[in-house]
Amino acid sequence: MEVPEWLWPVLASPFVGSFLGVLVTRLPADRPVAVGRSACDDCGQALGPLDLVPIVSWFALRGRCRHCGAAIGPLPPMMEIGALLVALWAASVSAGLALWAGCVLGWILLTLAAIDIRDGILPDILTLPLIVLGFVATHFLAPWQMLDSAIGTVVGFAIFALIRWLYRRLRGREGMGLGDAKLLAASGAWVAWNGLPSVVLIAALAGLVMALVVARNAKQLTLNQRVPFGPALCLGTWLVWLYGPITGF
């Protein structure tokens, strides 16, 4: 009996999500991500195989270290479940190489969104390779769009870099980091220049919702209060990659 092709990324996704959780916690702290065994951050005890089963271990241990009882936090299962949902979502609309490309894009966007929410940064070590991966995906899936992707990368970066410069000139302070510009450049590499308006529109609407949520939780939203825009851009990029630009936009 032939195994359906979508099953492989779905089975791999919780393990990928476990690694993504490591990236979320270690990249902003400039800690190594590919060396050394996983260990409890509180007691330093190395984690065994039973502690590292994606999703299952966290719930079986009730979110606490087996050795010292310290709370682990919800990030590991959230990233593992998130990676699984990305794979299932991608598998529902694509197949073959496009499915794997969509999973890679979705997993990286999930990681970038989580880091921006937690630490307010979009690391170059993720955004810049995402640009290259966008060109690679376009080369294999839609080689006739290579020029459109190149234009999208340049235009995507230029739009937000210009907005950032104008804001700094008018307000005398930073209002948007270059990380957002690099992320939109990566978006342009994946969805081409004609997909960027839809990405920005979806991101703007999602960002507005996020701002309203922040305002509700904080009772008020001031001009100096930071609302991360990276997660909104990630959502816009993901939706346009899967379903294409908004019709007529």
- Specify the pLDDT at position 108: 98
Confidence of residue 72 (pLDDT cuts 50, 70, 90): confident
Confidence of residue 1 (pLDDT cuts 50, 70, 90): low
Residue 225 phi/psi, 5-degree rounding, is: -80, 135
What is the mean predicted confidence (pLDDT) over 2-21? Answer: 91
The answer to pTM > 0.85 is: yes
127 contacts: CB under 8 Å, gap ≥ 6: 112, 179, 182, 183, 185, 186
Encode pLDDT of 201-237 as tens digits: 999 999 888 878 777 776 665 555 677 889 999 999 9
Q: Are 84 and 107 a contacting pair, CB within 8 Å? A: no
Encode pLDDT of 115-160 as tens digits: 999 999 999 999 999 999 999 999 999 999 999 999 999 999 998 8
What is the mean predicted confidence (pLDDT) over 59-63? Answer: 84
- Specify the pLDDT at position 209: 87
Say how far residue 230 (Cα) sits from the centre of its chain: 8
Encode pLDDT of 12-53 as tens digits: 999 999 999 999 999 998 887 776 667 777 776 777 777 778
